[in-house]
């Protein structure tokens, strides 16, 4: 396992994952937003994506995070092929996840893990997560023998470390931790806008108090806090004594905290990889001054006044049975409000989704609601897009 890599002056920072003996890069590569061909999420652009992974790993990133549904089930296959082709399996910590929502009986757990091992072309998983737990899925898994499954796959050496990713309310998060003494780590959504959402900061501290390793997802809130910044928010950032890019502010907010072991970023362009790797050079505990922390809180307050729909573009709601491009509709809604440019957002939206994928195709079947980690009432919010962009 490579621990310290020097390349062009870029020295990756590492932290020991709490409750394990593993040294992990503070930046992990989320394999859910690779570049694709012709807008088809299942058709990963292999050449571009391999170059991105090459750069990340050559510069010290040693944690790759994939999952059963990413890129419409193409991510695990791509990652497995990549690691085999480059002979890098022993140079990275590989993480994937049991699709909890697909489990109907105890045997399903073994079935999915075995399929994942084949897809990833490996005989073990370093970090295996029970994916996207909420109150309902957790009770179903307990009823179907999840503890027996965990104990057996660890005993067989099929997984090294067991954890869970989470999308529900704080009391549920605490209950899941308390229900099982064998958890080694957890993965939660956290960024400077979501300190009180889902597990939030309190959940982060609770997990650490219980001795769990901690992995952070959605640090950039699906890219919503690092794109074209509204003028009033840009003015706040401009008051900083030391200029930083918007992604660097978001990542430093997390790396500053001693309770955070690793931050995942779902990078989709080489520029994202190069930038994040460079930021990770300075991602130390207490890397923010008191003034910088106060500045971030001012930005948070201003942002929360503007966001229309709390969508992170995770695509868990997709595909819609009736073809609606749900994340794109919500991106357009938020951009229209954030940048006060309805006509521009309308044009971008209509060009992006086309006739077959308009918000007006929604039949209110409500299939998407249960899948949404943010608990958004998606059909209701889609009507706003219809009224604003399709009228």
Token readout for 260 is 């955070």
**Residue 357 pLDDT exceeds 90:** yes
- Give the DSSP H or E segment for 382: helix 378-389
Specify the DSSP class assigned to residue 19.
T
Instruction: Report pLDDT for 329.
Output: 95
Using one digit for the tens of pLDDT, what is the confidence trace for 302-321? 988 888 898 988 889 999 99
Gap between the Cα atoms of 90 and 93, Å rounded: 8
Share of the chain above pLDDT 70, in %: 97
**Of 14, 122, 3, 4, which Cα lies nearest the Cα of 66?**
122
Instruction: Report pLDDT for 8.
Output: 43
Instruction: Report pLDDT for 188.
Output: 98
Using one digit for the tens of pLDDT, what is the confidence trace for 38-60? 999 999 999 999 999 999 999 99
- Give the DSSP H or E segment for 231: helix 231-237
Q: How many CA atoms lie within 13 A of 116 on its CB side?
A: 27
96 near 64, Cβ under 8 Å? Answer: no
**Residue 363 pLDDT exceeds 50:** yes
Instruction: Report pLDDT for 275.
Output: 97
Domain with CATH 3.20.20.100 in the chain: 6-304
Please tell me whether residue 12 adopts helix, strand or coil conformation: coil
Instruction: Report pLDDT for 10.
Output: 53
Gap between the Cα atoms of 267 and 56, Å rounded: 10
Gap between the Cα atoms of 17 and 207, Å rounded: 13
Gap between the Cα atoms of 326 and 310, Å rounded: 12
Using one digit for the tens of pLDDT, what is the confidence trace for 156-182? 999 999 999 999 889 999 999 999 999
**Residue 70 pLDDT exceeds 60:** yes
Gap between the Cα atoms of 291 and 285, Å rounded: 16
Residue with tokens 């300075």: 282
CATH architecture of 6-304: Alpha-Beta Barrel (3.20)
Token readout for 205 is 């501290």
Q: Which residues 6+ apart lie within 8 Å of 252 measured at CB? A: 244, 279, 282, 283, 287, 288, 292
Residue with tokens 């909890």: 100
Q: Which residues 6+ apart lie within 8 Å of 35 measured at CB? A: 44, 45, 48, 49, 52, 268, 269
Between 8 and 69, residue with greater pLDDT: 69
Instruction: Report pLDDT for 152.
Output: 98
Using one digit for the tens of pLDDT, what is the confidence trace for 250-298? 999 999 999 999 999 999 999 999 999 999 999 999 999 999 999 999 9
Please tell me whether residue 219 adopts helix, strand or coil conformation: coil
158 near 115, Cβ under 8 Å? Answer: no
Instruction: Supply the mean pLDDT for the chain.
Output: 94
What's the distance, CA 327 to chain centroid? 15
Residue with tokens 């990133």: 61
Specify the DSSP class assigned to residue 356.
G
Segment 360-378 shows an average pLDDT of 95
Gap between the Cα atoms of 158 and 152, Å rounded: 9
Provide the greatest CA pair distance for the chain.
59
**Residue 107 pLDDT exceeds 90:** yes
């Amino acid at each position: 396992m490579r621990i310290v890599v020097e390349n062009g002056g870029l020295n990756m920072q590492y932290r020991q994952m709490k409750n394990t003996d593993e040294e992990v890069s503070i930046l992990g590569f989320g394999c859910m937003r690779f570049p694709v061909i012709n807008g088809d999420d299942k058709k990963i652009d292999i050449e571009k994506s391999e170059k991105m992974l090459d750069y990340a790993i050559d510069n010290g990133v040693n944690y790759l995070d994939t999952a059963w549904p990413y890129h419409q089930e193409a991510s695990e296959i791509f990652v497995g092929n990549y690691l085999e082709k480059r002979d890098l399996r022993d140079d990275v910590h590989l993480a994937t996840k049991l699709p909890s929502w697909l489990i109907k009986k105890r045997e399903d757990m073994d079935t999915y893990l075995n399929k994942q091992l084949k897809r990833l072309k490996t005989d073990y998983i370093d970090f295996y997560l029970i994916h996207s737990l909420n109150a309902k899925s957790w009770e179903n898994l307990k009823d179907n023998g999840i503890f027996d499954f965990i104990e057996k796959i660890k005993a067989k050496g099929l997984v090294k470390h067991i954890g869970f990713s989470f999308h529900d309310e704080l009391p549920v998060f605490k209950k899941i931790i308390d229900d099982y003494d064998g958890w080694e780590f957890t993965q939660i959504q956290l960024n400077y806008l979501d300190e009180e959402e889902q597990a939030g900061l309190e959940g982060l501290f609770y997990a650490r108090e219980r001795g769990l390793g901690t992995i952070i997802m959605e640090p950039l809130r699906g890219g919503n806090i690092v794109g074209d910044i509204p003028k009033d928010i840009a003015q706040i950032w401009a008051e900083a004594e030391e200029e930083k890019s918007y992604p660097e502010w978001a990542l430093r907010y997390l790396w500053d905290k001693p309770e955070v072991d690793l931050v995942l970023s779902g990078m989709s362009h080489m520029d994202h990889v190069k930038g994040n790797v460079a930021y990770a050079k300075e991602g130390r505990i207490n890397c923010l001054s008191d003034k910088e922390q106060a500045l971030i809180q001012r930005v948070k307050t201003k942002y929360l006044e503007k966001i229309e729909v709390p969508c992170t573009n995770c695509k868990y709601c997709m595909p819609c049975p009736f073809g609606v491009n749900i994340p794109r509709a919500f991106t357009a809604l938020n951009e229209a409000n954030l940048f006060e440019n309805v006509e521009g957002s309308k044009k971008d939206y209509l060009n992006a989704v086309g006739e077959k994928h308009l918000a007006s195709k929604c039949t209110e079947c409500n299939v998407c609601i249960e899948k949404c980690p943010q608990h958004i009432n998606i059909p209701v919010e889609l009507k706003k897009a219809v009224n604003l962009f399709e009228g």
